[in-house]
Amino acid sequence: MSEQKPCRRELLEWINTVSFAVDDVKLFLDTHPCNAEALEYFEEFKKQRVQALKEYAKYYGPLTIDTASPCEDHWTWIHEPWPWQKGGC
Partner 1 sequence: MWNYEKRLQYPVNITQTNPKTAQVIISQFGGPDGELAASMRYLSQRYTMPYNEVTGILTDIGTEELAHMEIICAIVHQLTRDLTPEQIEKSGFDKYYVDHTLALWPQSAGGTPWTATYFQSKGDPITDLHEDMAADAASM
Residues forming the site for partner 1 (CB under 8 A):
12, 15-16, 19-20, 23, 26-27, 30-31, 33, 62-66, 77, 80, 82-84, 89
Task: Pick the closer one to partner 1 by CB: 1 or 36.
Answer: 36
Cβ neighbours of residue 46 under 8 Å, at least 6 residues apart? 22
Task: Pick the closer one to partner 1 by CB: 29 or 44.
Answer: 29
Tell me the C-alpha distance between 38 and 36, whole Å.
5
Min CB(7)–partner 1 separation in Å: 15
Tell me how far apart the 2 most distant CA atoms of the chain are, in Å: 47
